[in-house]
Amino acid sequence: MWQLVIIIVEWTLTILMILFFIFIRCVVLIIRVFARFGWECKPLRTSLIIFLAAFALSVILPLVYLGFITLASLLLSIGFIQLTITAKVVEVSNSDVFMKEQDSLVNQVLHTNWFQQY
């Protein structure tokens, strides 16, 4: 019986540590994107306002009625997830990942188009 309890506690702690690691990575992503783009990016700004509104509602709802605590935590989680997704989309859309190649591989290596010489 105790072995089963120990296994459940170990798995629970492992899952909590993984979730904490993912949470920290998301926070670092959000801080990095805000440091790079700041208030210039309108979708990022809108997403932050939505997150702050969800945070405010998640604080106010349990004060009104304690039964809303589950709804408040769900609302806060959804707000954080949408802020994280928006930050990742802004980071990827402003990176050099989707840039077209300007020159062919032959021109980049040889610095001349030697097929036209013959």
pLDDT at res. 25: 97
Q: Give pLDDT tens digits for 33-80.
A: 999 998 888 999 999 999 999 999 999 999 988 888 999 999 999 999
The whole-model pTM stands at 0.76
pLDDT on residue 51: 97
Give Cα 47 to chain centroid, integer Å: 12
Which pairs count as long-range contacts for 85-94, CB under 8 Å and 24+ apart, including other chains?
86/43, 86/44, 86/47, 87/29, 87/30, 87/33, 87/34, 87/44, 87/47, 88/29, 88/33, 89/43, 90/33, 90/37, 90/41, 90/43, 90/44, 91/29, 91/32, 91/33, 91/36, 94/37
Please indicate whether residue 115 or residue 46 has the higher confidence score (pLDDT).
46
